[in-house]
Amino acid sequence: MLLRSIPTLMLAAAALIFPYSVARIFLDTPIERTMGTAFKIFFFHVPMGWLCMLMALICGVAAAIEVKRRSLRAGAVALAAAELGFVCGLGVLLTGPIWGNATWGRPWTGDARQLTTALLWLVIAAYLLVRHFGGEQSRRLAAALAIFGAIDVPIIYYAVKIWKTTHPTTDVVGSLPPALWASLWPALGALVLCTFGLLAVRVRQLMTSEALDDAWVRLQERQET
CA 60 from chain centre, in angstroms, equals 12
Number of domains forming the structure of the chain: 1
Q: Is residue 82 part of a domain?
A: yes
Please state the pTM of the whole predicted model: 0.91
Residue 153 in any domain: the answer is yes
Distance CA 170, CA 158 (A): 8
Q: Which residue ranges of the chain lie beneath pLDDT 50?
A: none
Expressed as residue numbers, the domain containing 198 is 7-224
- Asked if residue 215 belongs to a domain, the reply is yes
Element at 187 (helix H, strand E): helix 178-224
Residue 60 lies in a domain: yes
The answer to whether residue 114 is domain-embedded is: yes
Alpha carbon distance 29, 116 (integer Å): 31
User: End-to-end CA distance of the chain, in Å?
Assistant: 38
The predicted-structure confidence for 143-193, as pLDDT tens digits, reads as follows 999 999 999 999 998 887 777 766 666 666 766 788 888 899 999 999 999
Residue 2 lies in a domain: no
Asked whether residue 1 is assigned to any structural domain, the reply reads: no
